Amino acid sequence: MNWNWFYRMGSPRWFYETTSRWLPWLGALTFILLVGGLVWGLAFAPQDAKQGNSFRIIYLHVPASFLALAGYFLMAAAGAIGLIWKMKLSYMVMKCAAPLGAVLTFLALFTGAVWGKPTWGSYWVWDARVTSMLILLFLYLGVLALQYAFNSKDVGNKASAILALVGTVNIPIIYKSVDWWFTLHQPATITFTQAPSMHPAMFQPLLVMILGFYCFYAVALILSVRVEILARERKTSWVRERVKQAAQNSLGATL
């Protein structure tokens, strides 16, 4: 099998130039999906029989939770690739995925709290999934804190990659034990309206939003990796040339 594509992917310059071609399309797709999904979900999807309009925050809450968890695995996978194949680029991806994932986890918790107030009567309940998300936020914060604690960027990258991998081993255990803990302590006052089958008219916009969030995550990650590449490779000739060109272009535009 030809592995050239894999090694080429490790080159920051290749990544920068390829994503320059992809970004307009991906950005347009993200915009269409997010705006379309939001309008569909917020304005046109039917009201929930029990929760009324307050359920509509699901269109932000569920996609954010999906991406928060998926983002952790992506971060850990990027860290593992960096540790195994010693690719600069994958460390950059890991480094950029950490704050992005932490923000998404926070967003999931925040929208959950906003949703919880009208539904459960309080902003915070010790529900199994809520607790797991909180621990996920702590795991992200640990990786972030470790990343920036070292003087040497290289050691910081490797150390936080290892921590991310240890977290990956732990996430299923954490999830299962929180689940078990919750069944042990389940408070009787709260009933979970976990609808097993959502009405298609509600589900379709959610699907669009989930796809939109995936695309948004990709765009955000690519953008921040590109900044990281420019900052790290600022002394190479191809970056200098690019900056000079961009400066000339903007100068031409202002004149």
Partner 1 sequence: MISNTGFWAFLRRDLLLINRRRGEVASPLIFFIMAATFVPLGTTPDAELLKDIAPGIIWVMALLATLLSAESLFASDYHDGSLEQMLISPQLLVMPVLGKVTAHWLTTGLPLTLVSPFLGLLLSLPAAGYLPMMAGLAVGTGCLSLLAALGAALTVSLQKGGLLLTLIVMPLYMPVIIFGSATAQYSIQGLAWSGPLAILGAMLALAIALCPVAIANVLRLTTIN
Q: Is 162 in the site for partner 1 (CB under 8 A)?
A: yes
Q: 163 or 219: whose CB is closer to partner 1?
A: 163
Q: Is 94 in the site for partner 1 (CB under 8 A)?
A: no
Q: Is 87 in the site for partner 1 (CB under 8 A)?
A: no
Q: Nearest Cα to 103, choosing from 217, 14, 202?
A: 217
Task: For residue 247, give both structure tokens.
Answer: 């400066």
Residues near 206 by beta carbon (within 8 Å), at least 6 away in sequence? 37, 41, 58, 59, 62, 63, 198
Out of 150, 223, 232, 233, the residue judged to bind partner 1 by CB under 8 A: 150
Alpha-carbon 48 to chain mean position = 28
Among the candidate windows 13-21, 50-58, 174-182, 247-255, which touches partner 1 by CB under 8 A? 174-182
Question: CA-to-CA distance for 71 and 78, rounded, in angstroms?
Answer: 10
Out of 76, 178, 220, 225, the residue judged to bind partner 1 by CB under 8 A: 178
Q: 30 or 157: whose CB is closer to partner 1?
A: 157
Q: Is 142 in the site for partner 1 (CB under 8 A)?
A: yes
Question: CA-to-CA distance for 105 and 143, rounded, in angstroms?
Answer: 14
Q: Is 138 in the site for partner 1 (CB under 8 A)?
A: yes
CB of 218 to partner 1, least distance (A): 27
Task: For residue 181, give both structure tokens.
Answer: 């803990």
Q: 107 or 134: whose CB is closer to partner 1?
A: 134
The residues facing 48 across adjacent strands are: 52
Torsion sign over Cα 135, 136, 139, 144? negative
Q: Is 164 in the site for partner 1 (CB under 8 A)?
A: no
Out of 181, 195, 247, 249, the residue judged to bind partner 1 by CB under 8 A: 181
Q: Say which amino acid occupies 53.
A: N
- Sequential DSSP letters for 74-109: HHHHHHHHHHHH--HHHHHHHHHHHHHHHHHHHHHH
Q: 175 or 214: whose CB is closer to partner 1?
A: 175
Q: Is 159 in the site for partner 1 (CB under 8 A)?
A: yes
CB of 233 to partner 1, least distance (A): 22
Task: For residue 80, give both structure tokens.
Answer: 């593992």
Q: Is 84 in the site for partner 1 (CB under 8 A)?
A: no
The residues of the shown chain that bind partner 1, judged by CB under 8 A, are 135, 138-139, 141-143, 145-146, 149-150, 152, 154-155, 158-159, 162-163, 166-167, 169-170, 173-174, 176-178, 180-181, 184
